[in-house]
Amino acid sequence: MNSKTLSYILRRIILAVITVWVVITVTFFVMHAVPGGPFVGEKAISEAAQKALEAKYGLDKPLFTQYVTYLKDIVTKFDFGPSLKQRGRTVIQIIGDGMKTSVRIGLIAAVIALILGVVMGSFAALKRNTIADRLIMVLTTAFVSMPSFIMGSLLLIIFAVKLKVLPANGATAGGMILPVITLSLSPMAYITRLTRSSMLDVLGQDYIRTAKAKGVPRLRIIFGHALKNSLLPVITYFGPMLAYIVTGSLVVEQIFAVPGIGRAYITSITGRDYPMIMGTTIILAALIVIMNLISDILYKIVDPRITLE
Amino acid sequence: MKKRLMAAVLASVLAVSSLAGCGNTGNTPAPETGDETSTTTEVQTQVSNPADEGLGAGSNAGADVTAETTEINVCFGSEPDTLDPALNSAVDGATFLVHLFQGLAKWEMNSSGVLEIVADAATELPAGVENADGTVTYTYTLRDGLKWSDGSDLTSWDFMYAWNRAASAALAADYGYMFEVINGYDDVADIDDDGNPLHPEAKLDVETPDAKTIVVTLKNDVTYWNELLAFPTYFPVKEDVVANEAWATDPSTYVCNGPYKIASWDHNSLIKLEKSENYIDANDISMGTINCYLSDDQNNMLTNFQNGSWQLIDDVPTNEIASIKSQYPTEFFNVGQLGTYYVCWNVNEDLLPAGSQYAKDENAKADIRRAIGLLFDRNYIVEEIAQGGQLPASSFVSMGLTDADGSQFYKNCGVSSDYDGYYDTSVNGYEDGFTAAVEALKVYYDYDEATGKFTNFPTLTYLYNTSEGHKAIGEYLQSVLAGVGITMNLENQEWATFLNTRKEGDYSIARNGWLADYNDPICFLDMWTTDSGNNDVQFGRGAHASVKGYSLDLTPYGVDVNVTDATWSETYDVLIKAIKSCTDKDSRYKMMHIAEDMLMSTGCITPLYFYTDMYMLDDSVKGFFSNPLGYKYFMYTTIK
């Protein structure tokens, strides 16, 4: 890795930090501008209790003071504060619990999507215009265009209600299967289509024809020459896919009652649990920023011709 | 660079759009924090549980307990905000707490299927002794052998400590005011402008002469005192345990004194309750393990019930009720709840056409609001829209709350002996009411006889929180008004925003709902005083503060108040204060009727229906019961 690459990565990291800071700032002020508060309910609590709670959590201070305190606590102590709703638990604890589940589901979904997508895409390209190819294309079109909340509900009805072979609750042992499938189908279909078209493109290149003419075995052509080069667009898709899985988890975790970060995020927003909203936003934003960065660096590793600027 | 900027923008858009666009998935029409109790007679008529037989054995006899390994899977809510008895204000949290703790009293279903409040940690529930100054003193003795789940002894001191803690300003618990009936509460709860306790040393009037005796003095005779003793806020906690602020979030630090202890807690996923060997009546508990799954998604709950994973779910999707009822006739339950779903009007909203001679006339506005309230067919609403077995409401104080003589409070409102409540909700009654209402409105608005429509009624806006159920009701109200030429627009807001808007009075008409805390009509009435945090109607605020349109004569009840043409704060606020300090039961209830009459005469409250608690219970479960507060009891269940 030369110094140019290193300085590129460094610059990207600085930009990433700025990005996250912008997200923190915007979210912080927008969140406080939205009407309602963490202590409102259908039954109003007494004014005394309201005041005491606001004093306890520092919500009675001017907004800008709260903002500065918040930033300082994060930077100096990595302290995201206590949850205002789940009394006695800190944001870090809650996010930690949620991340464990979400990351597991997300990673499995991503790996499945990658492996199956590349395999099916290559297969379709090699079997171009056969029934198998057509079938794969029809299915992937359907999976790409179907939003996860429809796909999730559909799978739920078929496998959990009608066939009763899989649990509907994401918290139980086999409960991760359906959320993982739901999350992976769309990126898998997308990767299949990407791989297929780029594989077809590569297979028509001169160097492939040369290899064929030289008598290189077919499998060696596919795995040694064609596949690596056809994976470039797939790697570009890596970042967006992770983003899809992260945002998709908001919906999917709700449908399958998965105790993940997505559900915690939604609950915190409806409940105006300020520190939780901030914590989850920061974590998700950082995740997306980092994934994009990794995807760009991978890009460079796969294709040395690309110079990172 | 462009791409990076995009990433930043997208990330913040993501954050912002989630803030703005999220619906209130967890909040069903019923308020979350409602709790209410009822008398035994009332409950008896409401419980229609086919699984009741065998209860006697479950609750009292305690003989046949061989089912140590039994397990039940249930879901009555999502991750509880807290399992600290003092801090909890949610119904699902209370269900956890009645399994984890033992108070001085508890709800129990006796062998004839009647719910009653009986002594639990106390040997008995004695009557109070009235002192010379009107205060009432109760003395309780704790049973022998009471233990905490960590094996240590439970003493009267633990109760005294827990009550003072729960009531204290420092803790700022939602339900701290549950202790306001006890002498000394006012000092304990008082705070200064910065939110700090004014009297940090103040204590409730509770004494513990020895480790087994509790002596508590109330400000006056309180009819619902035993219900309070069975209320989770009154459960004991151990001082050295709660010193750790996070004690109630982890099974290893959670020390309780009830039938169960927390075996494991998978946050947002599962709380496993296991029978506690230190519980004094452990032999009576038939269910060994209760797996409480944590979910707030009604569709997900239903799926898990349908495929047999869960035996009880405490909520069902509103739009599935009709099909659930026909598919699961013996497993779908619908029991009375003490609450009212209603429409509230902003009292300061101008309803008269421009240039009307009645402008600024408070009585005209009240007339109009009352008339509009009569246009709605409540039977249609409960049968075709809500569909959950709710009952048409004709009063604000809900059905189930009792009067001085134990009869239904709402039946005694004294308007007419032909029907219960303030208007007739029967089919004929509705039609007559509709005609009368249109006639009444003709006084104030131009009416086109040919089309049967009013032509100069100002446009109204109906505000509700985002939910299919509230929307459907809003659309019905809209269609009825459109039928007589009144345009009403619908506006929905996300839950927390909605609460704020309604509280600030920034609306003209809004959906509303109220569940009582205990069986006493006062909890429906004291919320409408000028300074109450729940005074969404804005009585006595803004322009209404100076409206002198109310009269009050309390001399028949021994209170020296007789005013006419007075403001809301000079009448209603005074009345509520008189009710709260009244020691004569009959006078007190009569004054509460006066208060409701005053409320209803303003027309600012348009009751639609009385709430019910819906849940689904698997046929195989025996020995289950729930109370009118909505708490569910699994300790005496068995699975066939």
Give residues 88 to 127 of A whose Cβ lies within 8 Å of B.
Answer: 88-89, 93-94, 97-98, 101
* Residue in B closest to A18 by C-alpha: B8
Work out the number of other CB atoms within 10 angstroms of the CB of residue A305. 5
* Range A1-14 burial, b when 16+ CB lie within 10 A, else e: eeeeeeebbeebee
> Which pLDDT score, from 0 to 100, does residue A271 have?
86
Are A288 and B270 inside 8 Å of each other by CB?
A: no
Q: B24: pLDDT confidence band, cut at 50, 70 and 90?
A: very low
Phi, psi for B207 (deg, rounded to 5): -125, 150
> Which pLDDT score, from 0 to 100, does residue B27 have?
37
Q: What percent of chain B has pLDDT over 90?
A: 60
pLDDT at B139 over 70: yes
Lowest-confidence pick of A3-12, B167-176, B600-609: A3-12
Residue A187 to residue A181: CA distance in whole angstroms: 11
Pairing of β B605-617 and β B312-313 = antiparallel
pLDDT digits (tens, 9 = 90+) for B239-279: 999 999 889 999 999 999 999 999 999 888 899 999 999 99
DSSP helix/strand/coil, B182: strand
Pairing of β B509-515 and β B460-465 = parallel
pLDDT digits (tens, 9 = 90+) for B625-634: 988 788 999 9
> Which pLDDT score, from 0 to 100, does residue A295 have?
80
Are A40 and B176 inside 8 Å of each other by CB?
A: no
Q: What percent of chain B has pLDDT over 70?
A: 89
Q: B475: pLDDT confidence band, cut at 50, 70 and 90?
A: very high
State which H helix or E strand residue B499 sits in. helix B495-504
Q: Is B195 left (phi over 0), alpha (psi -120 to 50) or beta?
A: left
* Range A140-162 burial, b when 16+ CB lie within 10 A, else e: beebeebebeebbbebbeebbee
> Which pLDDT score, from 0 to 100, does residue B3 have?
42
pLDDT at B446 over 90: yes
> Which pLDDT score, from 0 to 100, does residue B18 have?
38
Which residue in the set B11, B19, B169 is minimally distant from A31, CB to CB? B19
pLDDT at B563 over 90: yes
**CA distance readout (Å), A136 to A122, A143, A189, A194:** 11, 10, 9, 13
Residue A42 near chain B (CB below 8 Å): yes
> Which pLDDT score, from 0 to 100, does residue A308 have?
59
Residue B536 to residue A41: CA distance in whole angstroms: 13
Tokens in use for A162?
Answer: 């009608």
> Which pLDDT score, from 0 to 100, does residue A72 have?
93
Which residue in the set B304, B500, B534 is minimally distant from A36, CB to CB? B500
> Which pLDDT score, from 0 to 100, does residue B393 have?
95
Which residue in the set B22, B177, B309 is minimally distant from A46, CB to CB? B177
Rounded average pLDDT over B53-80: 58
A27 or A227: which leads in pLDDT: A27
DSSP string, B234-293: GS---HHHHTSTTGGG-GGG----SSEEEEEEETTTEEEEEE-TT-TTGGG----EEEEE
Q: What percent of chain A has pLDDT over 70?
A: 98
* Range A239-273 burial, b when 16+ CB lie within 10 A, else e: bebbbbbbbbbbbbbbbbbbbbbbbbbbbbbbbbb
Lowest-confidence pick of A165-169, B43-47, B234-238, B456-460: B43-47
Residue A156 near chain B (CB below 8 Å): yes
Long-range contacts of B361-364 (CB under 8 A, 24+ apart): B362/B547, B362/B549, B363/B549, B364/B444
Which residue in the set A53, A54, A89 is minimally distant from B249, CB to CB? A89
Q: B26: pLDDT confidence band, cut at 50, 70 and 90?
A: very low
Lowest-confidence pick of A218-227, B256-265, B455-464: A218-227
Residues of chain B found within 8 Å of residue A47, distances taken between Cβ atoms: 533
Residues of chain B found within 8 Å of residue A94, distances taken between Cβ atoms: 267
Q: B51: pLDDT confidence band, cut at 50, 70 and 90?
A: very low
Q: Tell me the count of A-B CB pairs closer than 8 A.
A: 221
Residue B304 to residue B306: CA distance in whole angstroms: 5
How many CA atoms within 13 Å lie on the side-chain side of A167?
14
Are B172 and A49 inside 8 Å of each other by CB?
A: yes
Are B176 and A256 inside 8 Å of each other by CB?
A: no
Residue A38 to residue A271: CA distance in whole angstroms: 6
Residues of chain B found within 8 Å of residue A53, distances taken between Cβ atoms: 172, 195
pLDDT digits (tens, 9 = 90+) for B571-581: 999 999 999 88
> Which pLDDT score, from 0 to 100, does residue B568 have?
95
> Which pLDDT score, from 0 to 100, does residue B377 have?
96
B44 or A217: which leads in pLDDT: A217
Rounded to a whole number, what is the distance in Å from the CA of A26 to chain B's nearest CA? 7
Residue B505 to residue B147: CA distance in whole angstroms: 50
pLDDT digits (tens, 9 = 90+) for A4-57: 778 888 888 899 899 999 999 999 999 999 888 888 777 777 777 888 888 888
Amino acid present at A281: T
> Which pLDDT score, from 0 to 100, does residue B34 have?
33
Lowest-confidence pick of A27-36, B224-233, B294-303, B609-618: B294-303
> Which pLDDT score, from 0 to 100, does residue B371 have?
96
Q: B378: pLDDT confidence band, cut at 50, 70 and 90?
A: very high
Closest alpha carbon to B268 in B488, B41, B78, B460 = B78
Are B297 and A257 inside 8 Å of each other by CB?
A: yes
* Residue in B closest to A32 by C-alpha: B19
Are A45 and B533 inside 8 Å of each other by CB?
A: yes
Report the DSSP beta bridge partners of residue A215.
Answer: none
Lowest-confidence pick of B318-322, B344-348, B620-624: B318-322
> Which pLDDT score, from 0 to 100, does residue A237 have?
84
Residue B150 to residue B257: CA distance in whole angstroms: 9
B635 or B221: which leads in pLDDT: B635
pLDDT digits (tens, 9 = 90+) for A109-126: 999 999 999 999 999 998
DSSP helix/strand/coil, A82: strand
pLDDT digits (tens, 9 = 90+) for A60-108: 899 999 999 999 999 998 899 999 888 888 999 999 988 888 888 999 9
Are B174 and A255 inside 8 Å of each other by CB?
A: no
pLDDT digits (tens, 9 = 90+) for B245-255: 889 999 999 99
Q: Report which DSSP code applies to B466.
A: S
Rounded average pLDDT over B415-440: 91
pLDDT digits (tens, 9 = 90+) for A68-81: 999 999 999 889 99
Lowest-confidence pick of A24-28, A300-304, B13-17, B217-221: B13-17
Which residue in the set A47, A89, A161 is minimally distant from B303, CB to CB? A161
Residue A78 to residue A75: CA distance in whole angstroms: 6
Are B25 and A87 inside 8 Å of each other by CB?
A: no
CA angle B203, B196, B255 (to 5 degrees): 55
Rounded to a whole number, what is the distance in Å from the CA of B304 to chain A's nearest CA? 6
Residue A98 to residue A258: CA distance in whole angstroms: 9
Pairing of β B550-553 and β B289-293 = unpaired
